[in-house]
Amino acid sequence: MSMKTEALQAAHGAEEQPLHHQFEELPQQNESYVVGMWVFLVTEIMFFGGMFLAYVLYRWRYSEAWFEAHTKLDIPLGTTNTVVLLTSSLTMALAVHFAQLRNKRLQLAMLGATIGLACVFLVIKAFEWSAKFQHGLVPGPNFTWEGLVPAPQAQLFYSLYFGMTGLHALHVIIGIVVIGVLALLTALDHPLVKNDFIPTELVGLYWHFVDIVGIFLFPLFYLIPK
Amino acid sequence: MSTVAPVFQGESPQSPPSYLKAGHTIKSWLLTGDHKRIAILYLIAVSVFFFFGSIAASMIRVELVSPRGVMLENDTYNKVFTAHGIIMIFFFLIPAIPAVLGNFLLPIMIGARDLAFPRLNLLSWYLYVAGGLCALLAMAFGGVDTGWTFYTPYSSMYSNTNVTLTIVGAFIAGFSSIATGINFIVTVHKMRAPGMTWFRLPLMVWGSYATSVIIVLGTPVVAITLLLVVMERVFHIGVFSPELGGDPVLFQHLFWFYSHPAVYIMILPAMGVINEVITCFTRKRIFGYHFIAFSSLAIAGLGFLVWGHHMFVSSQSMYQGMVFSLLSYLVAVPSAIKTFNWTATIYKGSVRFQTPFLYVLGFIGLFVVGGLTGLFLAAMSTDVHLTDTYFVVAHFHYVMVGGTIMGFLAGLHFWWPKFFGKMYPDNWGKLSALIIFIGFNLTFLPQFVLGYLGMPRRYHYYYFAPEFQFWHIASTAGASILAVGFLIPAVYLLWSLKYGPDAGPNPWGAKGLEWTIPSPPPTTNFVEIPVVREEPYAYDAEADEREERVPAETKR
Amino acid sequence: MKIDHSHAHPISMYLKTFFALLVLMVLTVVMAFVHVGPEGNSVLNNLIAMAIAVTKAVLVVLFFMHVKFSTQLTKFWAILGFLWFLLMFIMFADYTTRPREYIRGWEPAAEDPNAPAALPQPPAR
Amino acid sequence: MNFPLMPDQASNFARPYDALFFALTALTILFTVIVGALVLYFAVKYRKGNRVDRSGAVESHLGLEITWTVIPLILGLVMFWWAAKLYVDTRQPPQDAMEIFVIGKQWMWHAQHANGVRENNELHVPVGVPVRLTMISQDVIHSFFVPQFRIKQDVLPGRYTQQWFIATKPGKYNLFCAEYCGTQHSEMGGYIYALPPQEFQKWLASGGDKKRPNQPTMADLGKQLYDRLACGNCHGSQDSPRGPSLYGLYGARRRMTDGSIVEATASYIREAIKNPYAKINEGYQNTMPEYRELTEEDLLNLIAYIRTLGTSKAPGPVLGNAMPAQIDGGNR
């Protein structure tokens, strides 16, 4: 515990992972960051949780309307998008893997692939959304609904659809920015990330969380059984 | 807690400079990662917000002297009480103790050099200021009139005021407290000094930890709820308005899922402060350490299961109401445990009547009343009559002002010499504690009667029932005494910064790691990380008395 | 823990996880079109869809997010959020019991033999 | 200026309520005095320098901890039980209660008696007779609060809530809106007049304060509206291909297209008029237009009229106070 930063670095040379001033040793530092990220993800779960709760309530109340409304969603596009997201999760996990191995070239390649897949996800999402705009399925004064079920209930479905997938897409956009910054810093050998795989691991945790949200959104919106 | 670390007696030449002297530029403050400097930044910010909130409170009290109002219009009055609620709750009570006292002391108390994430800590302050500015801007340019509860559909479909901007402010401030919460949780888990086991932690750390858990689990829910209100307001897509197919009561469920635990966010840290102060000024070990520690966690957990007692007349189902009422009675038990343990702590102590201890006495008295009147509101049928009346107003002011603010002032007076190395005049401190206690009771006791008589809250006029006037006048008179009581500490504390005598590292003869280092502490807190070998609160009243040693009590 | 290599896991682990996720992905889409359980009742289908989603999430958490190999503390916080979210469902105690609240007497008072005679009778026609 | 200490006890709930209130008050004072006295006594007795026996202080005592855990717990449970019992009473109106309809809107209370007498910001009720208020809001959430009756109930948009009471003492009492509802929230109030039954009868027969006797009853107004909107074109005395008959509808159980059984309560009928697609009777198409422009007052009148068209023979327990769409969808 009393080992000082300098002593540690001297013992292991410049290759050693940097120790930040508030910590005493590396395992403590690494676990602190990981636990901190997980606590943040707990807040994210509760954040999405409020919306999931509203979703469950209204789906239970208006189950028929929910089924009718969901038939207007594009299942192939939704499936494709979820697979894209899963794949990006894999590339992100591999980016962390190569960060741990200090293979900067492959790490950057995997981060790039993740960003690329995330962009593909957003493009597909944009296609889906614009179709909804064209069909007047955007909640609000211009919402048009021709169907057996009441318009307000269908509108509620689309409110939650846009709210939840929108919030998810926002997280994807934030993820792209964060991964981009991480890749840039890695490429520049910035001291914040040099010889330290923890930043990549933390960004990875965030990205996998976004993936998990996607995993739940997909069956809840696209695959509603009769 | 004594340690093997060297105990400094004042600033010796070889000890590093204090955190206050580690840089004098504004930049060195605004870009600092030092938890102590951030705590001071927070202290300044929350004081400003407390000032604004108090102005609003005074306007409310003046207005209610007459059944037909004195000076404000309907709308203005509504905006003023909304401003009072939002500023005091989101920008004073929630951050006051954790972000000021907790930020400064938590790392030192557990023997760490800083919080786990200093940059996140600084970010949280900027988020807080940004959120506060949004809310202030909204209030300055047009105001907001929904009440701090933002009930739908009024807030989402009917109010014509700056609801959106205010909500954005509260939303940002929410992330500020989340950042603080994450920081505290990780710090307590990972940064404790060797030998600092969980059951050697000062109870204030337990309180802050429990608070952080509530913040992390609850705040995101209110954030998303307020976001949904904004969506409904701005895009007319929503889930709460009956016109759009939603259920307005869902908002109340989601809102109180956070906002009831938020009450414990405000009170738990204050209870933590009380433990530290009461042991020092009675020279006693805390009575029932484990019970106090676990009651904090019990409050944090159970606090999430009782939100429905805010909704007994909201048309939620009778059965759900019963469950919530029962659980609300359960959550009263941990608070009772704490109170009785504090009482037992004083028994056979060596009591010193100094300013912080007077605030503690005030805290216990007011908190007991506040807590017990909570039973009226947890009981389903009495709540029917009392909810949304001045009884509720009086109840939560007893808990929030009588609890949190008394705790905050007790802590501020206790650690002020540690913060700045200067002592304030103790007699002025005692006087202000007395004035605040008297003024507070005069202000809020009449409001219990008013509530029982049926005076609804958030009422501008009461000419329908002019018989309420006597109690309103009494309350306003008390409020003016209370205002004086709050002004006195502001004056002498600021005075002491320049003219106060040096306090030395341990003016109270207190135990705990923060008293083993110089006042004000150096930037890295400890020259070497201490090793803790003793139980917490290793006071010995008997020995203290026997030696008749006057503890390093500064004479001024 | 001195050297970063000790953190690394074989790439095959990630690939296997990914493959399992894809299989579950296909399964959930297929199951959405196969009706299970009694006619007019979609409870089983919903349960299956959610069970698959939870399995996928657990796989991601355990392997992609390394929780399987992490400390107790990390595991605790990883689990807490998902559990606490379930607490919110207490509010369904309200929604499910609202219709159960028994309210006597929606019949017109005219048909009620107990109605006080002195009271105005709602118009009977 | 006077110093009132408690509101009048003017309803059947007031006395049992006050008994509980004073029990809690006594408990509060008792514990405050115990804790306060102990704290002050200890603090003064063991003040620094006072030569008293300080030996044998312990830092924990399981027996004490259990004592002060269990005693508050038991007291709390007793209070919970007492309060819950009382609360259940306030939520269950007796069968023979007289009905009055209340509409809250920014910023006034509007009351309708069954015989058509209407009042604004005032409500006349007979003494000694159970009265049930069926309440709804036209805009935001309000709350119907009569301190002297010890009753309060939120009034929501889109959904009926109810409150009942028996006034026990003739007099004039306060009516407040207790849920913040906007600019003139504090002026959204008025008075409740409790009159002896005969006087009330006379008041009602003479057409209320406006002295307009023999004005159309709620059901009359409902009939006028029914005719004006030509509801009878589809909903005649017999089921037609376009719509089911409304005769005998009130309180009947009907099967919907989705297979659920729905009980035709006021809430259901209101929903069926405003938003007919929400539930469709089995065997019918959703050809009915949405009558969204109808005010809550219109809706109450229509419901009052439909009630006069007869009720089913065996109404059975009616489920109420649920959310509009699934109200009475009951048996999920």
The CA distance from D164 to the nearest CA of chain C, in Å, is: 11
Among chain A residues, CA nearest to B116: A22
Closest residue by Cα to residue B380 from B441, B438, B276, B310: B310
Is residue D144 in a domain?
Answer: yes
Residues D277 and D304 in one domain: yes
The CA distance from A148 to the nearest CA of chain D, in Å, is: 7
Confidence of residue D213 (pLDDT cuts 50, 70, 90): low
* DSSP states along B435-497: HHHHHHHHHHHHHHHHHHHT-BTT-S--TT-GGGHHHHHHHHHHHHHHHHHHHHHHHHHHHHH
Question: Would you tell me which residues 184-243 of chain D have a C-beta closer than 8 angstroms to some C-beta of chain B?
Answer: 184-187, 189-191
Average pLDDT over residues C15-42: 88
Chains that touch D (3 or more CB pairs under 8 A): A, B, C
How many residues are recorded in chain C? 125
The least confident of B252-256, B261-265, D235-239, D291-295 is D235-239
Q: Determine the pLDDT at residue B172.
A: 95
Among chain C residues, CA nearest to A91: C14
- Is the CB of B316 less than 8 angstroms away from the CB of C94? yes
Is residue A188 in a domain?
Answer: yes
The last residue of a domain, from among D178, D196, D213: D213
The string of pLDDT tens digits covering residues B259-309 is 999 999 999 999 999 999 999 999 999 999 999 999 999 999 999 999 999
Among chain C residues, CA nearest to B316: C94
Rg (CA), chain C: 28
Residue D201: Cβ-neighbour burial (10 angstroms; 0-12, 13-18, 19+): middle
Chains that touch C (3 or more CB pairs under 8 A): A, B, D
Question: Would you tell me which residues 248-267 of chain B have a C-beta closer than 8 angstroms to some C-beta of chain C?
Answer: 249-250, 253-254, 257
The least confident of A3-17, B106-120, B342-356 is A3-17
Q: Determine the pLDDT at residue B276.
A: 94
Out of B217, B257, B319, whose CB is closest to C93?
Answer: B319
The string of pLDDT tens digits covering residues B486-529 is 999 999 999 999 999 998 899 998 999 999 999 899 998 998 89
Residues D208 and D223 in one domain: no
Out of B217, B305, B317, whose CB is closest to C101?
Answer: B317
Q: Determine the pLDDT at residue C6.
A: 55
Average pLDDT over residues B156-175: 92
- Is the CB of A36 less than 8 angstroms away from the CB of B221? no
* DSSP SS3 for D151: strand
pLDDT over 50 at D291, yes or no: yes
Residues D206 and D276 in one domain: no
Look at strands D130-137 and D122-126 and give their pairing.
unpaired
Is residue C109 in a domain?
Answer: no
Q: Determine the pLDDT at residue B548.
A: 58
Average pLDDT over residues B406-434: 95
Higher pLDDT, B184 or D313: B184
ipTM for the predicted complex comes to 0.88
Look at strands D108-113 and D130-137 and give their pairing.
unpaired
Q: Determine the pLDDT at residue C42.
A: 80
- Is the CB of D259 less than 8 angstroms away from the CB of C114? no
The string of pLDDT tens digits covering residues D75-134 is 999 999 999 999 988 888 887 788 899 999 988 999 988 878 888 899 999 999 999 998
On chain D, the residues whose CB falls within 8 A of the CB of C117 are none
Report the percentage of chain B scoring pLDDT > 70: 96
Q: Determine the pLDDT at residue B244.
A: 77
pLDDT mean across residues, chain B:
90
Segments forming the whole domain that contains residue D265: 218-308
The string of pLDDT tens digits covering residues B215-274 is 999 999 999 999 999 988 888 877 898 887 788 999 999 999 999 999 999 999 999 999
Residues D81 and D208 in one domain: yes
What is the C-alpha to C-alpha distance for residues C81 and A203, in angstroms, rounded to an integer?
Answer: 19
Residues D28 and D146 in one domain: yes
Q: Determine the pLDDT at residue A140.
A: 79
- Is the CB of C89 less than 8 angstroms away from the CB of A53? yes
Element (H, E) at C1: none
Confidence of residue B554 (pLDDT cuts 50, 70, 90): very low
Is residue C115 in a domain?
Answer: no
pLDDT over 70 at D313, yes or no: no
8 Å CB contact between A102 and A195: yes
A40 touches chain B (CB under 8 A): yes
Residues D130 and D84 in one domain: yes
Residues D238 and D158 in one domain: no
pLDDT over 50 at B9, yes or no: no
Is residue D191 in a domain?
Answer: yes
Average pLDDT over residues D181-201: 91
Is residue D95 in a domain?
Answer: yes
Average pLDDT over residues C80-100: 85
Is residue C79 in a domain?
Answer: yes
What is the C-alpha to C-alpha distance for residues B156 and D298, in angstroms, rounded to an integer?
Answer: 26
What is the C-alpha to C-alpha distance for residues A212 and B2, in angstroms, rounded to an integer?
Answer: 48
* DSSP SS3 for D181: coil
Closest residue by Cα to residue D187 from D85, D75, D125, D108: D108
Residue B311 identity:
M
Report the percentage of chain B scoring pLDDT > 90: 76
Residues D109 and D26 in one domain: yes
Is residue C87 in a domain?
Answer: yes
Q: Determine the pLDDT at residue D30.
A: 94
Is residue D314 in a domain?
Answer: no
The string of pLDDT tens digits covering residues B87-145 is 999 999 999 999 999 999 999 999 999 999 999 999 999 999 999 999 999 999 989 99
Number of domains in chain D: 2
The CA distance from C38 to the nearest CA of chain A, in Å, is: 12
On chain B, the residues whose CB falls within 8 A of the CB of C73 are 189-190
CA A139 from chain centre, in angstroms, equals 25
Residues D209 and D222 in one domain: no
Other CB atoms closer than 10 Å to residue B36's CB: what's the count?
25
The least confident of A9-13, A43-47, B231-235 is A9-13
Is residue C116 in a domain?
Answer: no
Higher pLDDT, D238 or A161: A161
Is residue A180 in a domain?
Answer: yes
Write the CATH number for D236.
Answer: 1.10.760.10
Give A77's strand partners.
Answer: none
Which residues are within 8 A (CB) of B99 and not within 5 positions of it... i.e. 6 or more apart? B39, B42, B46, B124, B125, B128, B177, B180
Average pLDDT over residues B380-401: 93
The least confident of A100-109, B355-364, D92-101, D149-158 is D92-101
**Phi/psi at D292 (5° precision):** -80, -20
The string of pLDDT tens digits covering residues D44-74 is 999 988 888 888 888 888 999 999 999 999 9
Average pLDDT over residues B533-545: 86
Question: Would you tell me which residues 175-194 of chain B have a C-beta closer than 8 angstroms to some C-beta of chain A?
Answer: 178, 181-183, 185-186, 189-191, 194
The string of pLDDT tens digits covering residues B29-59 is 999 989 999 999 999 999 999 999 999 999 9
What is the C-alpha to C-alpha distance for residues C66 and C14, in angstroms, rounded to an integer?
Answer: 10
D279 touches chain B (CB under 8 A): no
The least confident of B446-460, D95-109, D210-224 is D210-224
Express the helix, strand and coil content of chain B in percent, nearest 5 each.
70, 0, 30
Segments forming the whole domain that contains residue A106: 23-222
pLDDT mean across residues, chain D:
83
Q: Determine the pLDDT at residue B86.
A: 95
The CA distance from D221 to the nearest CA of chain B, in Å, is: 25
Is residue A202 in a domain?
Answer: yes
Q: Determine the pLDDT at residue D332.
A: 26
Confidence of residue C107 (pLDDT cuts 50, 70, 90): very low
B234 touches chain A (CB under 8 A): no
Is residue C91 in a domain?
Answer: yes
Number of domains in chain A: 1
Q: Determine the pLDDT at residue C18.
A: 95
Residues D228 and D288 in one domain: yes
Out of D114, D251, D332, whose CB is closest to C120?
Answer: D114
Report the percentage of chain A scoring pLDDT > 90: 61
Q: Determine the pLDDT at residue D322.
A: 29
* DSSP states along B256-311: HHHHHHHHHHHHHHHHHHHHHHHHHHHT-PPTTHHHHHHHHHHHHHHGGG-GGGG-
8 Å CB contact between A190 and A200: no
Is residue D44 in a domain?
Answer: no
Is residue D321 in a domain?
Answer: no
Give the best residue of C103, C107, C121 to mutate against chain D (max D CB count within 10 A): C103
* DSSP SS3 for D139: coil
Q: Determine the pLDDT at residue B175.
A: 94
Q: Determine the pLDDT at residue C119.
A: 35
Is residue D157 in a domain?
Answer: yes
Question: Would you tell me which residues 49-88 of chain C have a C-beta closer than 8 angstroms to some C-beta of chain D?
Answer: none
Average pLDDT over residues A101-128: 94
Out of A61, A149, A150, whose CB is closest to D323?
Answer: A61
Residues D96 and D176 in one domain: yes
Closest residue by Cα to residue B106 from B225, B272, B231, B228: B272
Question: Would you tell me which residues 105-124 of chain B have a C-beta closer than 8 angstroms to some C-beta of chain A?
Answer: 112-118, 120
Segments forming the whole domain that contains residue C71: 4-102
Average pLDDT over residues B53-75: 92
Q: Determine the pLDDT at residue D211.
A: 66
Among chain B residues, CA nearest to D65: B337
Closest residue by Cα to residue B356 from B298, B441, B426, B420: B426
Is residue A10 in a domain?
Answer: no
B322 touches chain C (CB under 8 A): no
Beta strands in D82-183 (DSSP E): 98-105, 108-113, 118-120, 122-126, 130-137, 142-146, 151-155, 161-166, 171-177
- Is the CB of D24 less than 8 angstroms away from the CB of B348? no
Confidence of residue D324 (pLDDT cuts 50, 70, 90): very low
On chain C, the residues whose CB falls within 8 A of the CB of A30 are 1
Residues D91 and D124 in one domain: yes
- Is the CB of C77 less than 8 angstroms away from the CB of A46? no
Closest residue by Cα to residue D18 from B313, B341, B384, B262: B384
The last residue of a domain, from among D213, D229, D252: D213
The last residue of a domain, from among D168, D197, D213: D213
Region class of D320: left (phi > 0), else alpha (psi between -120 and 50), else beta: beta
A54 touches chain B (CB under 8 A): yes
**What is the four-CA torsion angle of D273, D274, D279, D281, rounded to 10 degrees?**
20
What is the C-alpha to C-alpha distance for residues B208 and B297, in angstroms, rounded to an integer?
Answer: 10
The string of pLDDT tens digits covering residues D186-195 is 999 899 999 9
Higher pLDDT, C103 or B260: B260
User: C-alpha angle with apex D128: D124 to D132, nearest 5 degrees?
Assistant: 60
Out of D90, D179, D184, whose CB is closest to B384?
Answer: D90
Domains of chain B with CATH codes: 33-547 (1.20.210.10)
On chain C, the residues whose CB falls within 8 A of the CB of A44 are 81
Q: Determine the pLDDT at residue D302.
A: 86
What is the C-alpha to C-alpha distance for residues D9 and B4, in angstroms, rounded to an integer?
Answer: 69
Confidence of residue A212 (pLDDT cuts 50, 70, 90): very high
User: C-alpha angle with apex D120: B157 to D87, nearest 5 degrees?
Assistant: 75
Give the best residue of B108, B175, B177, B182 to mutate against chain A (max A CB count within 10 A): B182
Number of domains in chain C: 1
Write the CATH number for A65.
Answer: 1.20.120.80
pLDDT over 90 at B377, yes or no: yes
The string of pLDDT tens digits covering residues B309-318 is 999 998 888 8
Residue D221 in tokens:
């107004």
